Amino acid sequence: MMENVKKDFPLLRDNNITYLDSGATTQKPEYVLNSISNFYETSNANPHRGAYGLSIKATEVYEQTREKIAKFIGAKHSEEIIFSKNATESLNLIAYSYGLENLGVGDEIVISIMEHHSNLVPWQKVSKKTGSKLNYMYINENFEISDEEIEEKITDKTKIVGITHVSNVLGTINNIEKIIKYAHKKGAVVVVDASQSIPHMQIDVSKLDCDFLVFSGHKMLAPLGIGVLYGKREILNKMTPFLMGGDMIEYVYEQDTTFAPLPNKFEAGTQNVEGVIGLGAAIDYIQNIGYDRISKIEEKVVSYAREELSKLDFLTLYMTKNSLNHSSVISFNIDGVHPHDVASILDSQNVCIRSGNHCAQPLMRYLKIDSTCRASFYMYNTKEDVDNLVLALKKAYEMFKKYIVK
């Protein structure tokens, strides 16, 4: 079954590599690559800008993908889907267009210590500009945010809560249902970063009742450079545009401008149409495989990885002991060896992992480390990939062990 998935990915099918960096970006199936080629061969024109047939066709496929994404995540209205470059741009849009306009002195923003910089640095900016206070929810010894921490940090002063659904470093699946419900009870809006969750699990924004949700296409089989911002229509309608330019205006006068309605007012300039088409195809592919099958594949592979890596006594693992609260990311270090050196040795064995702080420096400082190695898995990975990782780690340790200071 798993081999049938891997054969759909040209780079994995045609090269002898063990790719374990899907948390950074996923490989692309042939179906997605072909959809992009087909767009350029049959429908290439600028959407929303021409009265001729080809432009109308491009507009149709562009807007049909918006409707597809709305259904995919359970949004009530297609105009609640805003296209962006990536989750980072989506989060900045929320911070600038909502945060700067709605926070003031005495208000508080709450985020977790495990946030990616893109869901942290913009809130620092908002805090400094508005005089509001930025607070953090911290993790316990099991790399999870406790219910007590949620209820202590989210208060009546909290106006915005930003939370990653799944940590890109720890793989912890946060209890966003609890966080959203409690934040709303306190009158706060909730921003969910679903970049590391939506490739692996079904998301329904209506059931979650989150106010905003963002994700990047390239982490879920789509091309680089396309992202999505979901926002409740009533909130988006009150927000001012983040970028100004073509197609987001209604009328422009010498001294004033009125803006187009949703979603256009947040999509200035020519958009990444091929990215949108590719994202639509990626959703088709994911739905054809099915989240149930994806979960079964990943559960088998990640469970095996947890088990095998735990046997290596020269590793320190950074992950929750509760496998039900753990997704597809495993961070680790070879004690006494810099992660970049480990990653270089693994690369010589054709094993691709990430090393560094993973755009989560505050979390690293909280863990009292500088960086980690990270293996991240997806539907195309197999137990053989785990075996290759373990073997390469053993070789790396043998190379470095005489230099390790204990």
DSSP state of 77: -
Strands 212-216 and 227-231: antiparallel
Cα-based distances in Å from 311 to 134, 308, 342, 355: 40, 5, 18, 21
Distance, in Å, from the CA atom of 303 to the CA atom of 324, rounded to the nearest integer, reads 10
What are the two backbone dihedrals, phi and then psi, of residue 322, each rounded to the nearest 5 degrees?
-85, 100
Contact 327, 372 (CB under 8 A): no
Strand partners, 355: 373
Contacts of 1 (CB under 8 A, 6+ apart): 293, 297
Residue 162 one-letter amino acid: G
Q: Tell me if residue 352 is catalytic.
A: no
Cα-based distances in Å from 84 to 212, 231, 242: 14, 13, 11
Q: 266-281 burial by CB neighbour count: b if 16+ within 10 A, else e?
A: bbbeebbbbbbbbbbb
Helix (H), strand (E), coil (C) string for 12-59: HHHCCCEECECCCCCCCCHHHHHHHHHHHHHCCCCCCCCCCHHHHHHH
Strands 351-352 and 257-259: unpaired
Q: Strand, coil or helix: what is 125?
A: helix
Query: Which one of the listed residues 210, 352, 359, 373 is annotated catalytic?
Result: 359
Contacts of 11 (CB under 8 A, 6+ apart): 17, 19, 27, 28
Task: Decide: residue 254, CB within 10 A, 0-12 exposed, 13-18 middle, 19+ buried.
Answer: exposed
Beta strands in 114-200 (DSSP E): 133-137, 158-164, 189-193
In this structure, what token pair is assigned to residue 196?
A: 């590391």
In this structure, what token pair is assigned to residue 357?
A: 């702080």
Contact 373, 342 (CB under 8 A): yes
Contact 317, 311 (CB under 8 A): no
Q: Which residues are catalytic?
A: 359
